[in-house]
Amino acid sequence: MATDMNDYFNKKKKESGSSNNSGGGKTPKMPELNFNFGGKSGGIITFIIGVVVLLVLAKPFTIITEGERGILATNGKYESKALLPGLHFIVPVIQKVYLVDTKVRIVNYAAKIDRSTMSTTSGITTKDAITVLDKRGLPVSIELTVQFRLNAQFAAQTISNWGFSWEDKIINPVVRDVVRNVVGQYDAESLPTKRNTIAEQIEIGVRKSVDGLKNTPVVVQSIQLREIVLPTKVKEQIEAVQIAKQEVQRAEQQVQKAKQDALKRAAQAQGTANAKRIEAEGIAQAITIEADANSKANYLIAKSLTSKLLQLEQLKVQAKFNEALSVNKDAKIFLTPGGSTPNIWVDTKDAKQRTTAK
């Protein structure tokens, strides 16, 4: 084939040369193309080059990286098993491989959407907050963050059943439906106090709904309840209730403090009263003891008094009276009847001065 082409160009060259000579003009020589690669070996080389070029253009292979799976389609029909990471050869034109991401994805349901995070290339998307009605029909906005990933084991079946937009067909409807059902059971005022319970119920509901799908197409990693946005009037009512509760708590604290102070004062008064009672009891006991002692002493004295002793005492008084008469002749003596007690004398010289002797 290469020889025939060389003969053709040589013939053309001679014809052009003869025609140019006849016209008297000179034309530059055309470079000679040599397609002769040496017979059979040249044909083999040409064939190999052609095959390489064909392979490069057709690309009969694909490389799947970690975090991805390959969905092999033969004549438009998906294979039941996904291709694992690595090098895979395919039949050009007849077969085609579609790459799907199996890494964790994040969907943020937010009231304020940051447009810079709406691209799905980073695995993070942002959607509008979920607006639901509470038990009384008041609108409430719920902000969530959902982390999930495509189930690599059933990736081929998921793409076959749900298509490449499986995320919008599975996660988004399920999350919104579960949130509406859960939040619709509560009044808007009670949502902040029931936050943990609501978050738990939403996560359980979403996991149950997704896991209940055929072949479990999605694995839910986590669901975080970020914010419960209440209507303005409801927020004002809740704030007013909170302020009232704080005032009540403050009043209760003051009452408790007053009770403690009263108990403290009562304890102090009781202590003082007990001290005085103990002191009075001590004094009374001392008086009683003293009285008993005096009584016993008087009893003993009374038993010891005899008629002769009384006469002796009278004689002592009489002696003192006689001494007084020597100084004061106005002194007087009073004799007690019966002589049971000693005589009593009075020195009348000084009206203010009285002397009693027993």
Cα–Cα separations (whole angstroms), residue 157 to 70, 153, 163, 166, 216: 12, 9, 9, 11, 10
> What per-residue confidence (pLDDT) applies to 33?
44
User: What's the pLDDT score for residue 356?
Assistant: 45
CA 104 to chain centre: 25
Q: Is the pLDDT of residue 180 over 70?
A: yes
**How confident is the model at residue 14, as a pLDDT?**
54
Q: Are 307 and 341 in contact (CB under 8 A)?
A: no
The rounded percent of the chain whose pLDDT value lies above 90 is 26
Query: Of the ranges 138-142, 285-289, 303-307, which one carries the lowest mean pLDDT score?
Result: 303-307
For the chain, the average pLDDT equals: 78
Beta strands in 200-321 (DSSP E): 218-229
CA distance 206 to 146: 10
- Whether the pLDDT of residue 222 is over 80: the answer is yes
Between 177 and 253, name the one with better pLDDT: 177
pLDDT for residue 19: 44
Q: In what helix (H) or strand (E) does residue 73 lie, and over which residues does it extend?
A: strand 68-74
Q: Rounded to a whole number, what is the largest CA-CA distance in the chain? A: 211
Bridge-based pairing state of the strands 124-128 and 105-110: parallel
State residue 186's pLDDT score: 92
pLDDT reported for residue 208: 94
Going by DSSP bridges, is the β-strand pair 130-133/124-128 parallel, antiparallel, or unpaired?
unpaired
**Residue 219 pLDDT level (bands cut at 50, 70, 90):** very high
111's tokens: 């009231």
Q: For 83, which DSSP code?
A: B
Torsion of the alpha carbons at 318, 319, 323 and 329, rounded to the nearest 10: 20
For residue 120, pLDDT over 70 is answered with: no
pLDDT digits (tens, 9 = 90+) for 1-41: 444 444 544 555 555 554 444 444 444 454 454 445 455 66
Has residue 342 got a pLDDT over 60?
no
pLDDT confidence of residue 189: 85
Across the range 151-173, mean pLDDT stands at 91
Q: For position 119, what pLDDT does the model report?
A: 53
The mean pLDDT value for 202-226 works out to: 93
Note the pLDDT of residue 324: 73
CA distance 147 to 222: 5
Q: Tell me: the pLDDT tens digits for 97-117?
A: 999 999 999 999 998 766 555
**Res 169: pLDDT:** 92
pTM exceeding the 0.85 threshold for the entire prediction: no
pLDDT at 2: 42
Percent over 70 (pLDDT), the chain = 75
